[in-house]
Chains A and B, each alone.
Chain A
Amino acid sequence: MTPQVHRTLLITPAYRDAALALITAVAGEGQSGMLDVPVGAEQDEETAVTHLMSTGNILEPFAALLPLDEWDGEQYVRVQEPNYDTIIAASGGAATQEGLESLFAEVVVTKDGWKETLTNLRLSICDP
């Protein structure tokens, strides 16, 4: 089997559809349920959803295409840039460098578990 690695992924809601289209193009069908956990600021009952989250294993070759962020104690810092060329090729030209840069600016991808990630960012899973 293809090796799997853990990732927690966060994205702002406006970019979810674009992200899912990209995931389908690169990782294949069946992933439309990703990025469906709403998260927002902690202890604020009325807060709108600020991000959508997925957490768990993904295939290592897919992870290699994504950016990677690490917590430096204050913020997530990008330590690996996405592989733009491969992603654009996999999208059949639908994705552009400019579009991807906008998308990945709105994304956090980390090896941290979801609880650690949300604690770092002072976010929590939203009530309905």
Chain B
Amino acid sequence: MLVRVGSLITRMTREFLIDQLFEKGQQGNWVDYAPGHAFADTGLSVPAAPGEGIAGYLDRSPNGNDGTQAVITARPILGRVPVGGRRNLLERTEDIQNSYWIKVRGSATTSSLFTEDSTASNSHYMRRQATLDAPSTVFQDVEVKAATRSWFFLGRNAGGGNTGAYFNAETGEFGTVYGDVEDYDAWQVDDGYWNVRLKYGPATTQHNFDICLASGNEGRIYTGDGVSGGHVRRMQLAVSEGPYQKVVSQYDITEAGVPDVWYARYDGADDNLPDNQPIPAVENGCFVVIGRKGIWIDNEWVNTSGLLSVGPTTYTGGPAGILPVVGDVLSIIWRDEPLTEAEKAGLVSYGIKRGSAGLFELGAELVVNGDFSDGATGWSVGTSTVVDEALVIPGLFNNNVVQGFTLAAGQTVIARLEVKAKTSTTQTARLRIGTGDYLPAFVPNVGRYAWAAISGTDNTGFRMANGSGDPAFTLDNVSVRPLTLVTP
């Protein structure tokens, strides 16, 4: 009964969002990068598979704002990962015939049968090298089944014979265990296979995931007969213990019994979907990006251009760099009116159920006197002057506009400013938060600008400098607010 109630609530929440966000005829779009909505062709007839470029999507709102991208290299890639994220660091975990697995003095005669060659007095094994971010305890899992060989040696750098364990897949018993194996276990699974798990101490960042055939306990070195072999499948290398995850590629990871999180990965270089899609002008709307790292809600979205693009790092009218902040994109929603608080809560709930880590909330304003209503108080402006509550910059070269404030290194912020007038031509300005790298330079034409930026290594706050030449313009409405992930 409880399950039925929960299921009902889930369904009601979802239907509320889909049906009611646009029920008064609001313009907008609801994109779900998931099966049934993402396609591999611009005709929107062939469903995209994990690892394929997304050529287009069907709008889930009643507005029919379907989006496409004709240029194949400019399509984001469709992917799926289990809720909770990737744990298995390997790929091609059920296809030892793939060249991903290096075969040494042996070959893969089927997707799971490793057969030795006839080399005399040597090891016969398959290997995949993995590099960890830092020395860490690792769990090495593999399922093995006896064929004409029943003994295996499973190890880390087993080709060198350093560390690992012998296992008999006929009897399910371990033989000799070597090196820094801290723990080991084996249990029977389906079809005569044994799941063997070895736990290694944090000795190194380099892990050679090796599976050797053996002629018996401690029989890793022997003369092959060219035909004998054993079955191996479902390899997993992880820094935490857990059930097997099947990894076909970095874009296709699944785990039995765990829901998939489907996403689009924008590469940050040239991916755009949609690409200059004609839409009605939006004077006061909302734009929501549900990403795996968090949900971004822009509830003061303005886009009067009549066109919408998403990518490479932002959306039309959005802060540059916001897509890398939210991570892989699960869903995008925009509408020509802001969200109510109830709608926001519903969207956040929906996003978290889809696999997002939480909501990105904007913190308190860090800039003092960002509207220059108190002259230049709080600012270091060089020869610039405040006129009519805006900063008139005669030229940024050697006249940086600076305000110091405290900000933790690595903190993501949303920085905004407005250019109200301009006297220079193509010269560029650029912005830095903290002492990190400057953000990409921009031509300060009249308009509003926003960036998602990561603070540098200390607290020097906001700094605007020239990018090229000596740009002259009028600056106003400067804002820097920290972005914090909240999990409701």
Contact = CB atoms under 8 A, between A and B. Distances in A.
Contact of B270 (A4, A55, A127, A128): A55
B52 A1 contact: yes
B112 to A, nearest CB: 22
Nearest to A43: B437
B72 A1 contact: no
B487 to A, nearest CB: 29
B75 A57 contact: yes
A58 interface: yes
A9 B75 CA distance: 15
Contact of A128 (B40, B74, B77, B441): B441
B40 to A, nearest CB: 5
A37 interface: yes
Contacts of A58: 72-73
A91 B54 CA distance: 28
A125 B269 contact: yes
B210 interface: no
Nearest to B68: A30
Given A114-B269, A128-B443, A4 B71 contact: no
B429 to A, nearest CB: 10
A34 B71 contact: yes
Interface of chain B, helix or strand or loop or mixed? loop
A57 B72 contact: yes
Contact of B71 (A9, A33, A53): A33
A9 B72 CA distance: 13
Contacts of A46: 468
Nearest to A6: B77
Contacts, number: 80
Q: Which size bracket describes the interface of A in this complex?
A: 20 to 34
Nearest to A124: B440
A31 interface: yes
B53 A56 contact: yes
A8 to B, nearest CB: 9
A45 interface: yes
A56 B442 CA distance: 26
Contacts of A114: 267, 269
Interface in B136-169: none
A37 B70 CA distance: 16
A56 B443 CA distance: 28
Contact of B467 (A1, A125, A127): A127
A18 interface: no
A64 interface: no
A57 B250 CA distance: 14
Contacts of B467: 45, 127
B271 interface: yes
Contacts of B73: 7, 9, 34, 54-58
A45 B430 CA distance: 11
Given A1-B40, A127-B428, A128-B428, A33 B53 contact: no
A94 interface: no
Interface of B: 40, 42, 46, 49, 51-53, 70-75, 77, 267, 269-271, 275, 428, 430, 440-443, 467-468
28 contacts: A1-B52, A4-B53, A4-B72, A7-B73, A30-B42, A30-B70, A30-B71, A31-B70, A31-B71, A33-B275, A34-B72, A54-B71, A54-B73, A54-B74, A54-B270, A55-B267, A56-B75, A56-B267, A56-B270, A56-B271, A57-B52, A57-B53, A57-B75, A57-B77, A58-B72, A127-B440, A127-B468, A128-B440
Interface of A: 1, 4, 7, 9, 27, 30-34, 36-37, 45-46, 53-59, 113-114, 125, 127-128
